[in-house]
Every structure is written in C-alpha cells, then in structure tokens.
Amino acid sequence: MHPLFAVLKAETYPDFRERMRESGCTRCALAEHRTHIVVDRGNPDAAILAIGEAPGAQEDETGVAFCGRAGKMLDELFAAEGLSTDEHLLIVNVVKCRPPLNRAPHRDEAARCRPFLERQLALSPARVVALMGTTALRHIAPDRAKGRLAEQVGRFFQLDEWPGREFVTLYHPAAILYNRSLEPVAREHVRALAARARTDGMPAPVPPGG
Ligand code: URA
C-alpha cells in the first residue's frame, strides 16, 4: 500500500501519527525544505483539539507542534485554567511542513494537506475544536473568515460537516506575542473554551499546588 494511502487508512490516532511521521509525504512543495513532518503535540484522547497554522523553525527542527515561543504562550493560556496542553489538548496544524520564512501556507498547500487534517479530526474524540488564527478559520470555516478576525474570536459555532463538535475561533498565540494588548481578551476566550470542555465531561483540573 502507498504510504500516504496507509496514513489515511489509519484507524487509531497513534497509528495515524506514526504513519504520517514516517510517510515521506511529497504532496506539495513544502516537502522540499522541511526537516520533519510535524504531526501534532499532546494527547490523542483529549477533549480539546486545537488547530494552528503551520510549523515554525523549532517545530521543523524537533518534529513537535507548538514547541517554540507561540507554544509557550499557548501553554500559559491553558495553564491559567488549570489545563495542560500535553494532557488536555491535541494540537495540530493546517499544514504539516514548515513554509519558507514562516509565511502562511498557500491555498494549494493547505488543500493538499487537508485529507490529513480531516483524518486527525475524524480520529480525535474532542468535542471542542479551537481554530487558532485566520489560517485555521479560513480553511475550516471559510464563510466566517470574510470579515475581521476580531469579530469572530471567542464565538462558538457548529459545522454541518462535523456534527457533534463545537468550534471556537481564538487569536493565534503568535499574534498575542506580537500584540500583547490581545492577551486579556484571549484569556477570556480560553476560559470560556475550558468551561465548555468541562461541561462536556472533561474532568475538572486539579488547581495548581492542590
Ligand atoms: N505556529 C503554528 O501555527 N504552529 C506551530 O506548530 C507553531 C507555531
């Protein structure tokens, strides 16, 4: 079986992860300059699935999603709600390979990678899906991506293609690092997301030190 076909046929998330990492995917030009295929970070059984844009330099180097500065910001936002990004989230990206100079992925690159993102969504039991930033919003819910991001962030919505899930748009953690005035409202959004995931059966976290 072709390795990419095997990736899409994976029936468990750990199998998908392993096969994707080892696939040697060359479906788009991003393959040319990458060091690692960056599949994800976190827990495949998590109640929250977070979707970012694309791996950056550190992610490309290590093969781990959101392990650089933006990842630390994400860790902090969730830690403030008593949640660990490694335990309570599965974090993935629209594309799995680093675009040159960290540009946003092109439409055709995202389209080529889309079947893998769809498989991740299908294999994740998460009921709450966070779309972090414009790229994730544009690729998952294009109808909502026409106006300003500020009008979408913090809003929960559903999509016919993915019944039984709730989606919410968040500011991308890198945008918060770039513009720290976004941080207070971003914290509110993460608080609402955490509350939603908890009402959905996720165990209440142990408070720091408790
Ligand atoms: N930004 C992203 O969108 N994804 C990563 O994995 C790292 C930074």
pLDDT 10s digits, 59-91: 999 999 999 999 999 999 999 999 999 999 999
* Residues in CB range of 144: below 8 A, 6 or more apart: 137, 152, 157, 169
- Whether residue 209 lies inside any domain: the answer is no
Q: Among residues 84, 18, 94, which one has the least CA distance to residue 48?
A: 84
- Whether residue 45 lies inside any domain: the answer is yes
- Whether residue 204 lies inside any domain: the answer is no
Domain count, the chain: 1
For the beta sheet containing 48-52, the strands, ordered from the edge strand earlier in sequence to the opposite edge, are 41-42, 89-93, 48-52, 128-132, 166-170, 156-157
Q: What is the reported pLDDT for 207?
A: 44
Q: Which residues are near ligand 1 (CB < 6 Å)?
A: 52-56, 59, 65-66, 68, 70, 93, 174
pTM over 0.75? The answer is yes
- Whether residue 20 lies inside any domain: the answer is yes
Q: What is the reported pLDDT for 3?
A: 85
Residue 58 CA, closest ligand 1 atom number: 7
184 CA to centre of ligand 1 in angstroms: 21
- Whether residue 206 lies inside any domain: the answer is no
Do the Cβ atoms of 88 and 202 come closer than 8 Å?
yes
Residue 41 CA, closest ligand 1 atom number: 6
Residue 65 CA, closest ligand 1 atom number: 6
The whole-angstrom separation of Cα 111 and Cα 129 is 19
* Residues in CB range of 50: below 8 A, 6 or more apart: 74, 85, 89, 90, 91, 92, 129, 130, 132, 170
Do the Cβ atoms of 43 and 154 come closer than 8 Å?
no
Residue 132 CA, closest ligand 1 atom number: 3
95 CA to centre of ligand 1 in angstroms: 10
Long-range Cβ pairs for the range 15-21 (8 Å, 24+): 16/119, 16/120, 16/123, 17/44, 20/96, 20/116, 21/63
pLDDT in tens, 113-158: 999 999 999 999 999 999 999 999 999 999 999 999 999 999 999 9
- Whether residue 154 lies inside any domain: the answer is yes
194 CA to centre of ligand 1 in angstroms: 21
Q: What is the reported pLDDT for 208?
A: 43
Q: What is the reported pLDDT for 72?
A: 98
Q: What is the domain extent for residue 16?
A: 3-198
90 CA to centre of ligand 1 in angstroms: 13
Domain with residue 20: its CATH number is 3.40.470.10
